[in-house]
Amino acid sequence: MRRWLTSALLGGGVGFAAYRRGALTLNGALGAAVVGGIVFARGGAPAAGALLAFFGSSTALSRLGTTRKEHAPLAQAKGARRDVWQVLANGGAATLCIGLGGPRQGGGGLVGALAVAAADTWATELGLLSTRQPRLITTLSPVAAGTSGGITPEGLAASVGGALVVGLTWVMLGGARRGLPVALLAGLGGSLMDSLLGATVQALYRCPRCGVLTESEVHRPCGQSTELVRGHRWMTNDAVNALSTLTGAAIGGALWRPSLTTERGGARQGRG
């Protein structure tokens, strides 16, 4: 009980601090408190560190080059402040894995899901600052900066960096060593899935007044309802993120298999 209470206080503290700094909306802060409390209580220091590594690094990167990002050709559906749906899309799968399986059985799913969330966020935030024009992952056709499914060499390198930060934090705080390769493979696999979904089925709209492409059904600067030009209305960016992190969790879980390796510092069972 004491551990859960301490974890709830830590999760709530992180959520409140993020809200005060403008990184989360109020409902996003409440969602982060729940996610953080469960992860801290069930996963201990390695899981808590991996979660904070994703969230902290992603928040910092979102503040880089804000002026340039605001003037990107494609309008994003939401701003830099994450709401509860974004919190759950990025952290829900990881929370479910560690909540049900703990670090031994659910560690792979948590590391894989958070690696995808970090890889995708790093690729998006740093990719928007790239001087090269992105190319759509499905056709390699040039697309506007910020277009879902667009990739650049810098964005791909950033996705590797994001995944490695999650994996390294997990290992440095005492998690199983296999967390690092799991983070790298799951992070890359899930982030590529994110790009593929973004290029094919994610909803993309056009403002009939100014012609700007956006991920929102309403173009806020114009106050104009938009027209669907690609994908499905229900396949929002949050839905794509949720499916991608679930993919990362599945890859991480498949690669984890505790029977193939031992936990760091774990005692081997004696024979006989």
State residue 181's pLDDT score. Answer: 96
Share of the chain above pLDDT 70, in %: 89
Number of domains in the chain: 1
pLDDT digit string (tens) for 166-214?
999 999 999 999 999 999 999 999 999 999 999 999 999 988 888 888 8
Task: Examine residue 267 and state whether it is found in any structural domain, yes or no.
Answer: no
| CA torsion through residues 260, 193, 122, 33, sign | negative
Task: Examine residue 115 and state whether it is found in any structural domain, yes or no.
Answer: yes
Task: Examine residue 265 and state whether it is found in any structural domain, yes or no.
Answer: no
Strand order in the sheet with 204-206: 213-214, 204-206, 227-230
Share of the chain above pLDDT 90, in %: 62
Q: What are phi and psi of 172, to 5 degrees?
A: -65, -25
State residue 263's pLDDT score. Answer: 45
Distance CA 187, CA 52 (A): 16
Task: Examine residue 266 and state whether it is found in any structural domain, yes or no.
Answer: no
State residue 55's pLDDT score. Answer: 92
State residue 109's pLDDT score. Answer: 97
State residue 270's pLDDT score. Answer: 38
pLDDT band at 36 (very low <50, low <70, confident <90, very high): very high
Task: Examine residue 271 and state whether it is found in any structural domain, yes or no.
Answer: no
Distance CA 175, CA 172 (A): 7
pLDDT band at 99 (very low <50, low <70, confident <90, very high): very high
The mean predicted confidence, pLDDT, of the chain is 87
Tokens representing 201? 């089925």
Whether residue 156 is predicted with pLDDT greater than 70 in this model: the reply is yes
Query: Nearest CA to 37 among 48, 50, 24, 21?
Result: 48
pLDDT band at 61 (very low <50, low <70, confident <90, very high): confident
Among the residue ranges 73-77, 220-224, 241-245, 268-272, the one predicted with the least confidence is 268-272
Residue 151: DSSP 8-state: E
Over residues 105-125, mean pLDDT:
95
Distance CA 173, CA 8 (A): 20
Query: Nearest CA to 148 among 137, 161, 159, 132?
Result: 137
Task: Examine residue 270 and state whether it is found in any structural domain, yes or no.
Answer: no
Tell me how many degrees the CA angle 12-121-198 measures, rounded to the nearest 5. 120
Distance CA 62, CA 55 (A): 11
State residue 23's pLDDT score. Answer: 86
Whether residue 72 is predicted with pLDDT greater than 70 in this model: the reply is no
Task: Examine residue 116 and state whether it is found in any structural domain, yes or no.
Answer: yes
Distance CA 134, CA 69 (A): 14
Q: Find out whether 118 and 94 touch, Cβ atoms under 8 Å.
A: no
Helix (H, G, I), strand (E, B) or coil at 56: helix
Over residues 28-46, mean pLDDT:
95
State residue 265's pLDDT score. Answer: 41
Q: How many CA atoms lie within 13 A of 192 on its CB side?
A: 11
**Strand residues in the chain grouped as ranges (E):** 135-136, 150-151, 204-206, 213-214, 218-219, 224-225, 227-230
Tell me which residue range forms the domain holding 229. 2-259
Helix (H, G, I), strand (E, B) or coil at 230: strand
Q: Find out whether 61 and 121 touch, Cβ atoms under 8 Å.
A: yes
Task: Examine residue 216 and state whether it is found in any structural domain, yes or no.
Answer: yes
Whether residue 120 is predicted with pLDDT greater than 80 in this model: the reply is yes
Q: Which of 68-77, 135-144, 240-249 has maximum average pLDDT? A: 240-249
CA distances 203 to 77, 108, 217, 230, 262, Å, are 11, 31, 9, 6, 44
What pTM value is reported for the model?
A: 0.89
CA distances 17 to 13, 14, 195, Å, are 6, 5, 31
State residue 2's pLDDT score. Answer: 84
- Residue 2: which residues within 8 A CB-CB, separation 6 or more? none
- Residue 210: which residues within 8 A CB-CB, separation 6 or more? 219, 221, 222, 224
Whether residue 259 is predicted with pLDDT greater than 50 in this model: the reply is no
Q: Find out whether 81 and 23 touch, Cβ atoms under 8 Å.
A: yes
Whether residue 226 is predicted with pLDDT greater than 80 in this model: the reply is yes
